[in-house]
């Protein structure tokens, strides 16, 4: 598919690209992410459970980065990342035998795939990087088959942690069965989930998540 034009010249894109340039050279990427399946999947028990329980149909990893950490854990898998057309500049997909993600924004999922296409959608540490997270959530829900599952997870209040720099313009947090979206001006949206979770998986940062069933 053609690259999505929502990337444009958004502030923070250069920073995000530099992050991935460094990450693909890290031992963690070479040892874990290039493995299929990735041993780091053990960090996400709720996602593993959703994979085990998923209905027949394709799976989407939205905002997957250079390659999806879900590779080898579920099939068929679609990998999408708005910045995908940049990644080939520093990661040799052919040499590693990997498929390049499609450069599709979450705000354009319905146009790209149509309604009722996926049985499971995973958005990992990416919803809060989007221009319009509420629209992304609407699009993801529309693209799920009836009974399909959406998993949203990432670092709690990462925009505050990053001092509202670059792509970090939204905070995500959970409480009870609610997923909260906030910006600098305060609360913008609340979604009621089937379940939520939070745990410390990295020093000083809390990983939160929410599961939605259509």
Cα–Cα distance for residue pair 50/53, rounded to 1 Å: 5
CB neighbourhood size of 3 (10 A): 15
Q: Provide the pLDDT for residue 204.
A: 76
For 46, 154, 164, 175, 183, the CA distances from 157, given in Å and listed in that order, are 20, 9, 10, 13, 10
- Ranges in the chain, pLDDT < 70: 1-11
Among 44, 76, 69, smallest CA distance to 211 is for 44
Handedness of CA 74, 205, 82, 180 (dihedral sign): positive
Query: pTM of the full predicted structure?
Result: 0.94
Q: Provide the pLDDT for residue 3.
A: 40
Q: Provide the pLDDT for residue 4.
A: 46
Q: Provide the pLDDT for residue 79.
A: 98
Interacting residues of 185 by C-beta distance below 8 A, sequence separation 6+: none
**DSSP string covering 117-163:** -EEEEEEES-GGGSS-HHHHHHHHHHHEEEEEEEEEEEETTHHHHTT
* CATH of the domain spanning 13-213, picked from 3.40.50.150, 2.30.30.90, 3.40.718.10, 3.40.120.10: 3.40.50.150
Cα–Cα distance for residue pair 143/130, rounded to 1 Å: 17
**Angle at 191 (CA atoms; ends 208, 180), nearest 5 degrees:** 50
Q: Residues 195, 211: contact at Cβ < 8 Å?
A: yes
């Amino acid at each position: 598919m053609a690259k999505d034009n929502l990337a444009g010249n958004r502030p923070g894109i250069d920073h995000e690209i530099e992050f991935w340039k460094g990450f693909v050279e890290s031992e963690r990427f070479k040892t874990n992410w290039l493995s299929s399946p990735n041993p780091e999947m053990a960090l996400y028990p709720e996602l593993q459970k959703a994979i085990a329980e998923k209905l027949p149909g394709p799976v989407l990893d939205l905002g997957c980065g250079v390659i999806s950490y879900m590779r080898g854990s579920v099939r068929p898998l679609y990998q999408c990342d708005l910045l995908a057309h940049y990644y080939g500049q520093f990661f040799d997909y052919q040499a590693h035998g990997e498929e390049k993600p499609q450069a599709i924004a979450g705000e354009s999922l319905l146009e790209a795939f149509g309604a009722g296409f996926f049985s499971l959608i995973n958005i990992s540490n990416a919803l809060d990087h989007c221009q319009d997270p509420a629209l992304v959530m609407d699009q993801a829900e529309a693209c799920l088959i009836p009974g399909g599952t959406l998993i949203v997870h990432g670092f709690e209040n990462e925009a505050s942690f990053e001092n509202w720099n670059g792509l970090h313009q939204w905070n995500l947090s959970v409480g009870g069965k609610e997923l909260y979206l906030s910006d600098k001006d305060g609360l913008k949206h609340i979604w009621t989930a089937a379940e939520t979770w939070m745990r410390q998986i990295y020093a000083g940062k809390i990983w939160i998540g929410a599961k939605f069933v259509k």
